[in-house]
Amino acid sequence: PSEQEKHTVSDVWQTLPTRAESPANNPTTAEKVELGKQLFFDPRLSLTGTVSCNTCHNLMEGGDDGRPSSMGIHGRIGPRNAPTVWNSVFQTSQFWDGRAPDLEEQAKGPVIAGPEMGMPNHDKAIERVAAIPGYRSAFATVFGDDDSVTIDNAVKAIAAFERTLITPNSAYDRYVDGDRSALSASQVRGMQLFESAGCTECHSGPAFNGWTPGLTDASFEEFPRFSNRRFLDKYALAKDLGRYEVTKQPEDKHQFKVPVLRNITLTAPYFHNGAVESLAEAVRVMADVQLDMELAEREVTDIVNFMGALEGEFPNITLPRIPSRSGHSILEDQDPAATN
Amino acid sequence: PSEQEKHTVSDVWQTLPTRAESPANNPTTAEKVELGKQLFFDPRLSLTGTVSCNTCHNLMEGGDDGRPSSMGIHGRIGPRNAPTVWNSVFQTSQFWDGRAPDLEEQAKGPVIAGPEMGMPNHDKAIERVAAIPGYRSAFATVFGDDDSVTIDNAVKAIAAFERTLITPNSAYDRYVDGDRSALSASQVRGMQLFESAGCTECHSGPAFNGWTPGLTDASFEEFPRFSNRRFLDKYALAKDLGRYEVTKQPEDKHQFKVPVLRNITLTAPYFHNGAVESLAEAVRVMADVQLDMELAEREVTDIVNFMGALEGEFPNITLPRIPSRSGHSILEDQDPAATN
Ligand code: HEC
Ligand code: HEC
Ligand code: HEC
Ligand code: HEC
Ligand SMILES: [Ca+2]
Ligand SMILES: [Ca+2]
Ligand SMILES: [Ca+2]
Ligand SMILES: [Mg+2]
C-alpha cells in the first residue's frame, strides 16, 4: 500500500466550511455584499484616491500585497505585513495582535490609519462616500434611507463581503474528504510531520489557526517562544511586542494571534514583519523558535509541499462598477499638476 | 412634435463600433486578451509592487484615477492627468501629446516612468514577470515557448486587452440609431448646440476625437487657441507645451491630441493638467479658449446633459487570478518593516 493509503486521517484534520455565519447584528444579504465589494475595491476611501482595501489585500492573488510591510498613501510604509483577507472570517480576532474583535471593527482602522488610507477621520471618509449619488442609493437600499451613509454601515457592508471570501475544496480538503489521490506522497509525509512535530498544537482546525466552528474567544501564543536562537537577530523577530502594544500588560509581550495557514504559499513574505522571504525558511524558523527543534531539509520540503495543498478554490469575482459623481471631481485638496 | 422628433440626425453623428480591429502584427486572441488583462491588473509590474495600470486607469469606473495628476510609486506625482483607457483604441496616437503611435508602444512607457511604476528598466520588469511560473506558461501558450517572456510580447498582450475596452450602446448611440426617446429635450438641445457652436470641428466621429474608422494618421489641435483669456491664468492651461515637448518644433507648441469624449462625465477633473474640477466649467473653458465665445449657463447645462448621454455600456470583467510564485517573495529590495 502507498504512503497515502496507509495514512489514517484523524480528527485533527478538518475541512474548510464553504460558508460563514453572519452575526445577528449584521445579517448577510446579496445587496449588502455587493455594496461591501464596491467599498472594498474603491480607492476613493483613501485621502489621495489611490489606495483601496484591495491594494493591500489583493483578491486577484493571495489576499495580501506581497510586500514585507505595506505601503499606503504617499508611499508611507507601515510596520507590519498585510495578512490575507481570504478566510479571515474564520478568526476570533483580527490583526496580528488581535486588537479588533471582528471584521466590522477591523475595517474602521485602515481608513484612518496614516500609513494606510490616511483619511483624517471617519466623518471625512463618509462625506466623500455620501457625495456619490450611487452610494447614497445603495446604502438606502441596504440600510434604509434615514441617514444610512455612516461608518458603521460602511464597515458592516465590507465585513459582509469579507465573509464571502472563503477558499474551500483544496487538495487537502479533498484528501480529508476521502480522495486519497489528492495529495502526493511527499505531501502526506508533510501532513503527518505537521502533526507529529507539534505544529498542530497551535495550527489546528479547518483554517490551521486554532479556530473551530462555534469558537468565539480570541487566543494568542508567544512568538518567539524560545529566545536567543539564531533566527531572532537575523529576522528581528523579537522587536515587535505584539499584543502588549494593545494591552500594556507585561504578560502580553510577544503574544501574537496564530495566523491562518490556508493559501500560505501565496502570501510570502512571512511573519508579522514580513522579514522571511520563503516558506521553507518560515517553516525552519517555526520549528526552531516555537518548538526548539531542527527539521531535516527533506522534512522542510515535505511540510512546504503539504502547505501547497492548502491552496483552495477562489470564487469568481466580477469587477464591481463603482458609482461616479457625474461631471464632478470627488477628491479635494490634492496637489494639482498645475502647481508642480 | 417634440424637440426630439423635429431633430434630423445628420451624418456628423456616428455610433461607436462594438469591436476594434487588431493590427496585422498583433492579432487578438482570447488567450492573449486574458494574459493582457492579468498584466494590466498586476501591481508587481511596479517597483514597489503597489501600482498597476488599473491604479491610474480604474476599469471599475471611468478608466482614470480621478486625480488632477496621477500618483505613482512612493506617492510620486506626475505632471499630467490620466486619460481614460476606455475606447483608447479609437485614437490614432496615445498620450496627450500623441508621443506613442499605438497601444503597444504606449504600454512600454508607464512601467519605467519614475512617477508611475518606476521600474529601473524593462529587463528588470521582465525578470520579475519571468520569475512567476504561471506567467511563463501563459506567455508560452500565447507567443510560443522560445524565450517569449519579453517586453514586446507583454505590451502586445496588454494592447490586445485594451482593444476590448469599448463602451458602446450609450443613450446617444441609441438615439442616433433611431430611438428618439433615448435623449431628453435638454440633451437634444445640447447635441444641436455641440454642432452649431463648433465643437464638432474637433470633437467629431464616433469617439468625439476626430477619429473615423480607417483613419490612422495622428492629428493635433492648438490648445488654448485664443490666448490672454481669463481661464488661462486661473487653470494654468498654457504652461504645458504639449507636442512641442516631444518634437521641439516651434509650430508644435501647445498642440494637443483631441481627447475622446465618451464617458466624459466619469473622468473629472479635466484637461491635460486636471485643473478643472467640473464638466460644466470644462465646457465653459472650451467655448472660451477654443471658440472665443461665451455660452449662456442654460447652454452649458444642455451640453453637459448631452455629454451624460455618452456614458456607454461597460463590459462585465471577471477579476483575473494573477499567478503566484509559490512560497517565495517576488519583490526584492523593499524596505522591510524590521529596519524601520
Ligand atoms: C496600506 C495597506 C492596507 C490597507 C489599505 C488595508 N489594509 Fe488591511 N491590513 C494591512 C496590514 C499591514 C494589516 C496587519 C496590521 C496589524 O496586524 O497590525 C492588515 C490587517 C487586516 C485584517 C486582519 C487580518 C488578520 O488575519 O488579522 C483585515 C480583515 C483587513 N486588514 C481588511 C482590510 C480592509 C477591509 C481594508 C479597507 C477598508 C484594509 N484592510 C485596508 C494593510 C492594509
Ligand atoms: C506555540 C505555537 C506555535 C507552534 C507550535 C507553531 N506555530 Fe506557526 N505560528 C504561530 C504564531 C503565533 C505565528 C505568527 C508569528 C508572527 O507573529 O509572525 C505563526 C506563524 C507561522 C507561519 C507564518 C504565517 C504567515 O502568514 O506569515 C508559518 C508558515 C507557520 N507558523 C508554520 C508553522 C509550522 C510548520 C509549525 C511546526 C513546525 C508551526 N508553525 C508551529 C504559532 C505556532
Ligand atoms: C501612475 C499612473 C499611471 C500608471 C501606473 C499607468 N498610467 Fe497610463 N497614463 C497615465 C497618465 C498620467 C497618462 C497621460 C500621460 C501623458 O499624456 O503625458 C497616461 C496615458 C495612458 C494612455 C494613453 C491614453 C490616451 O488617451 O492618450 C494609455 C492607453 C495608458 N496610459 C495605458 C496604461 C497602461 C497599459 C499602463 C500599465 C502598463 C498604464 N497606463 C499605467 C497614468 C498612468
Ligand atoms: C479647435 C479644437 C477644439 C474645439 C473647437 C473644441 N475642442 Fe474640446 N478639446 C480640444 C483639445 C485639443 C482638448 C484637449 C485639451 C487639453 O490639452 O487638455 C479638448 C478637451 C476637451 C474637454 C476635456 C477632455 C478631458 O478629458 O479632460 C472637453 C470636455 C471638451 N474638450 C469639450 C468641448 C466642447 C463642449 C467644445 C465646444 C464648446 C469643444 N470641446 C471645442 C479641442 C477642441
Ligand atoms: Ca505574508
Ligand atoms: Ca473618474
Ligand atoms: Ca480627466
Ligand atoms: Mg502574495
Nearest-CA residue for atom 15 of ligand 4: B271
Q: DSSP letters along A54-91, please?
A: HHHS-TTTTSS-SSSS-B-GGG-B-SSPPPP-TTGGG-
Question: Could you tell me the distance, in angstroms and rounded to a whole number, from the CA of residue A270 to the centre of ligand 1?
Answer: 15
Hey, are the CB atoms on A268 and B61 less than 8 Å from each other?
Answer: no
Peptide linkage before A115 cis (omega within 30 of 0): no
Whole-number pLDDT of residue A78: 95
- Only one residue has cell 507636442, namely B243
**Closest ligand 3 atom, residue B80 Cα:** 12
pLDDT above 50 for A340:
no
> Is A177 in the same domain as A284?
yes
Cβ-Cβ contacts under 8 Å, B324 against chain A:
61-62, 265-266
Any atom of ligand 4 within 6 Å of the Cβ of B132: no
From the CA of B69, which ligand is nearest?
3
Question: Could you tell me the distance, in angstroms and rounded to a whole number, from the CA of residue A268 to the centre of ligand 5?
Answer: 5
Name the residues of A annotated as catalytic: 116
In a domain, B77, yes or no: yes
Any atom of ligand 4 within 6 Å of the Cβ of B258: yes
Kindly report the number of other CB atoms within 10 A of residue A125's CB atom.
Answer: 21
A-interface mutation test, from B271, B334, B335, most A Cβ less than 10 A away: B334
Helix B133-143 × helix B122-130 angle, to 10°: 100
* CA closest to A68 among chain B residues: B336
pLDDT in tens, chain B (340 residues): 566 666 778 888 999 999 999 999 999 999 999 999 999 999 999 999 999 999 999 999 999 999 999 999 999 999 999 999 999 999 999 999 999 999 999 999 999 999 999 999 999 999 999 999 999 999 999 999 889 999 999 999 999 999 999 999 999 999 999 999 999 999 999 999 999 999 999 999 999 999 999 999 999 999 999 976 789 999 999 999 999 999 999 999 999 999 999 999 999 999 999 999 999 999 999 999 999 999 999 999 999 999 999 999 999 999 999 999 999 999 986 766 544 3
Whole-number pLDDT of residue B247: 97
In a domain, A228, yes or no: yes
> Is B183 in the same domain as B303?
yes
Hey, are the CB atoms on A330 and B71 less than 8 Å from each other?
Answer: no
> Is B109 in the same domain as B237?
no
Burial of B61-97, coded b for 16+ CB within 10 Å and e otherwise, reads bbbbbbbbbbbbbbbbbbbbbbbbbbbbbbbbbbbbb
Q: What's the DSSP call for residue B221?
A: E
Task: List strand residue ranges (DSSP E) for B181-321, in order.
Answer: 221-222, 255-256
Hey, are the CB atoms on B269 and A329 less than 8 Å from each other?
Answer: yes
Question: Could you tell me the distance, in angstroms and rounded to a whole number, from the CA of residue A61 to the centre of ligand 8?
Answer: 6
From the CA of B86, which ligand is nearest?
3
Query: What tens digit of pLDDT does each residue of A118-170 get?
Result: 999 999 999 999 999 999 999 999 999 889 999 999 999 999 999 999 999 99
In a domain, A25, yes or no: no
What confidence tier does A287 reach under pLDDT thresholds 50, 70, 90?
Answer: very high
In a domain, B25, yes or no: no
> Is A77 in the same domain as A188?
no
At B129, which amino acid appears?
A: V
Q: How far is CA A149 from CA A117, A187, A320, B137, in A?
A: 19, 49, 19, 46
Q: A286 CA to chain B: closest CA distance, Å?
A: 15
Hey, are the CB atoms on B60 and A41 less than 8 Å from each other?
Answer: yes
Q: B9 CA to chain A: closest CA distance, Å?
A: 25
Hey, are the CB atoms on A67 and B77 less than 8 Å from each other?
Answer: no
Question: Could you tell me the distance, in angstroms and rounded to a whole number, from the CA of residue A165 to the centre of ligand 5?
Answer: 17
Checking ipTM against 0.90, whether it exceeds it is yes
- Average pLDDT, whole number, for chain A? 95
Nearest to B280 among A65, A327, A335 (CB): A327
User: B209: domain CATH number?
Assistant: 1.10.760.10
Phi then psi for residue B140, to 5 deg, are: -60, -45
Cβ-Cβ contacts under 8 Å, A308 against chain B:
326-327
Nearest-CA residue for atom 19 of ligand 4: B258
Q: A24 CA to chain B: closest CA distance, Å?
A: 31
In a domain, A23, yes or no: no
Query: What tens digit of pLDDT does each residue of A24-52 get?
Result: 999 999 999 999 999 999 999 999 999 99
Question: Could you tell me the distance, in angstroms and rounded to a whole number, from the CA of residue B135 to the centre of ligand 8?
Answer: 15
> Is A129 in the same domain as A227?
no
Query: Alpha-carbon distance B268 to B105, whole Å?
Result: 26
C-beta of residue B52 within 8 angstroms of C-beta of residue B40: yes
Given the residues B116, B162, B281, B299, select the one marked as catalytic. B116
CA dihedral for A317, A323, A328, A331, sign (positive or negative): negative
In a domain, B24, yes or no: no
* CA closest to A272 among chain B residues: B337
> Is B45 in the same domain as B74?
yes
Query: What tens digit of pLDDT does each residue of B212-229 get?
Result: 999 999 999 999 999 767
In a domain, A303, yes or no: yes
- Only one residue has cell 486554532, namely A210
Cβ-Cβ contacts under 8 Å, A81 against chain B:
337
Whole-number pLDDT of residue B336: 60
* Domain boundaries, position A119: 30-166+315-339
In a domain, A285, yes or no: yes
Query: Alpha-carbon distance B254 to B328, whole Å?
Result: 49
C-alpha cell at A290: 516555537
Let me know if B116 is a catalytic residue: yes
% chain A with pLDDT above 90: 92
Nearest-CA residue for atom 14 of ligand 4: B258
Nearest to A55 among B50, B79, B273 (CB): B50
Cβ-Cβ contacts under 8 Å, B317 against chain A:
318-319
At A235, which amino acid appears?
A: Y
Whole-number pLDDT of residue A166: 98
> Is A55 in the same domain as A162?
yes
Kindly report the number of other CB atoms within 10 A of residue B247's CB atom.
Answer: 15
> Is A180 in the same domain as A274?
yes
Phi then psi for residue B4, to 5 deg, are: -65, -40
Whole-number pLDDT of residue A145: 87
Any atom of ligand 2 within 6 Å of the Cβ of A229: no
Query: Alpha-carbon distance B31 to B264, whole Å?
Result: 31
| Lowest mean pLDDT segment, chosen from A60-64, A334-338, B83-87, B141-145 | A334-338
> Is B118 in the same domain as B11?
no
Q: How many domains does one find in chain A?
A: 2
Query: Alpha-carbon distance A101 to B60, whole Å?
Result: 31
Nearest-CA residue for atom 17 of ligand 4: B272
> Is B210 in the same domain as B178?
yes
Whole-number pLDDT of residue A283: 98
Question: Could you tell me the distance, in angstroms and rounded to a whole number, from the CA of residue A136 to the centre of ligand 6?
Answer: 17
Average pLDDT of A294-306? 98
> Is B156 in the same domain as B249?
no
> Is B83 in the same domain as B184?
no
Query: What tens digit of pLDDT does each residue of B76-89 get?
Result: 999 999 999 999 99
Three-state DSSP at A38 gives helix
**Closest ligand 1 atom, residue A97 Cα:** 17
Whole-number pLDDT of residue B3: 64
pLDDT above 60 for A115:
yes
The pocket around ligand 3, CB under 6 angstroms, is made up of: B 40, 51, 53, 55-57, 70, 72, 78, 80, 82-83, 85, 88, 91, 94-97, 103, 106-107, 110-111, 116-117, 158
Query: Alpha-carbon distance A80 to B337, whole Å?
Result: 6
